Amino acid sequence: MFTASEIRSTFLKFMESKGHTIVASSPVVPGDDPTLLFTNAGMNQFKDVFLGFDKRPYKRATTSQKCVRAGGKHNDLENVGYTARHHTFFEMLGNFSFGDYFKRDAIKNAWELLTQHFMLPPEKLWVTVYAEDDEAYDIWNKEVGVPAERIVRIGDNKGARYASDNFWMMGDTGPCGPCSEIFYDHGEDVAGGPPGSPDEDGDRYIEIWNLVFMQFNRDEKGEMHPLPRPSVDTGMGLERISAVLQHVHSNYDIDLFQNLMRAVVKAVEEAGGENVDPNSPSVKVIADHIRACTFIIADGILPGNEGRSYVLRRIARRGMRHGFKLGARDLFFSKLVKAVAKEMGDQYPETRNPHIEEVLRQEEVRFSQTLAKGLDILNEALADGTKVLGGDVAFKLHDTYGFPVDLTADVCRERGVTVDFEGFDAAMEKQREKARATGKFKMAQGLEYEGSPTEFLGYETLAVHACRVEAIYKD
């Protein structure tokens, strides 16, 4: 059986044998790109090469790229723990052609790797192509031999939640082009429909690999100009292909995650949790979030209230809250950094920096005070035996004390109390209007936010602002 680590090296060596130079992952924090919150795809570090502003000594490259999708246009934060395939932090295996090979070789290489090296049965693989891309369709159908029943033409499908969209754009402007995606059928015992069908959001047919054919440069007016030399950018999630090759249906069942999840259960139980269910969404969330936090801090970000720092804080606190939900009443989250380093330190030695655990420990101490304070306020509000918690109280907890509303709802549920969410939303909206009226300001890193620079706007409001940061993908 392939381990995740062997899959990574098999991919890179295969692409090397096809003339690609192995290039190291860039940091999850993009160096000089204010349009991007975190690195969200392998192509990010080659953006300027595709645009023609930068030249490299190679025309073909391959990477295993550290990615974070927890803000901007690619935000998978809320999916984590609840779908079998989304992480906040994941590794993207990719191969790139800078004006060298194009559709035919991209498709044939991908197929060769999957069917002859990873030995996947062809009948388990489905492909999608952009609706009008007859060229890609014909390569798949006539040259590779994928039958028409398993090739789906997809346009700008905006229906389903994770709807396939086979025209890839770098942003509002820049290189773009049709893409072709490869899906794996996890079998009848998993719910979900094939790509392009109304129930494609399920976990049966999982997208494993996206092949982007960069063909145009889109200008400010939205006009497409053919690139002089068409290029290729591909991305395959390491955790997703690992699930396939390890014959499991969820990313959380692969070797790497199972080891991490065992460490999570142990740490939570040592902190006071009892009989923790090793397969609960909370355990998955914690295992996912500790990886993201470890890598983001390793690349130089500290928890805070703005931009990237805020996103880091949000991920960390979400992880801690899930531990609390499982019964942890003592520090546990920061202690898990070692488990991440154990799993990933060989490939990513930066995870072994002792500074990471210390930063998270301080954040955990701070948040445990927030939790304690929030619980006091909540206890007081519920002392008179009320069965509905006022939206204003929930909002005050959230806004002033950083006590997340979903935690408020959890605690209330345990006591048979409901939360007045309408009142909460109304208070939030009032706050937003106030913030808008206070004016605009520019935050560090050139990100433009609305609101007063002196007033703490509350986590959700900040998250909404953080999401305005343009990611370079259209998703």
Give the binding site for Mg ion (CB under 5 A).
Answer: 207, 210
133 or 207: CB nearest Mg ion? 207
Q: Say which entry of ligand ATP, Mg ion, none residue 307 contacts (CB below 5 to 8 A, set by partner kind).
A: none
Query: Contact with ligand ATP (CB under 6 A): which of 20, 66, 87, 289?
Result: 87
Residue found by looking up tokens 């295993």 in the block: 64
Does residue 86 interact with ligand ATP by CB under 6 A? Answer: yes
282 neighbors 322 (Cβ within 8 angstroms)? yes
Closest C-alpha to 398, from 362, 423, 434, 365: 423
Partners of 96 in beta bridges? 61, 233
Does residue 76 interact with ligand ATP by CB under 6 A? Answer: yes
Phi-psi region of 38 (alpha: psi -120 to 50; beta: other; left: phi over 0): beta
Q: Which helix (H) or strand (E) holds 152?
A: strand 151-154
207 or 343: CB nearest Mg ion? 207
103 or 240: CB nearest ligand ATP? 240
What are the residues whose beta carbons fall under 8 Å from the beta carbon of 74, sequence distance 6 or more? 40, 471, 473, 475
Q: Say which entry of Mg ion, ligand ATP, none residue 471 contacts (CB below 5 to 8 A, set by partner kind).
A: none
| Number of chain positions touching ligand ATP (CB under 6 A) | 19
Q: How far is the CB of 51 from ligand ATP (least distance, A)?
A: 19
Tell me the residue nearest to ligand ATP as measured from the CB: 237
**How far, in Å, CA of 53 to CA of 44, rounded?**
14
Q: Say which entry of Mg ion, ligand ATP, none residue 341 contacts (CB below 5 to 8 A, set by partner kind).
A: none
Binding mask 359-378 for ligand ATP (x = CB under 6 A): --------------------
466 neighbors 35 (Cβ within 8 angstroms)? no
135 or 203: CB nearest ligand ATP? 203
Q: How far is the CB of 349 from ligand ATP (least distance, A)?
A: 22
Q: Say which entry of ligand ATP, Mg ion, none residue 461 contacts (CB below 5 to 8 A, set by partner kind).
A: none
Label the pairing between strands 224-237 and 205-218: antiparallel
C-alpha torsion sign, points 173, 177, 178, 180: negative
Binding to ligand ATP (CB under 6 A) within 201-240 occurs at 207-210, 235-237, 239-240
Which string of DSSP letters, residue by residue, matches 140-203? IIIII---GGGEEEE-B--SSTT--B-EEESSSSEEEEEEEEEEEE--TTS----TTSTTTTSS
Q: How far is the CB of 126 from ligand ATP (least distance, A)?
A: 13
Does residue 85 interact with ligand ATP by CB under 6 A? Answer: yes
Three-class DSSP category at 386: coil
List interacting residues with ligand ATP (CB under 6 A): 69, 76, 85-87, 90, 92, 162, 207-210, 235-237, 239-240, 473, 475
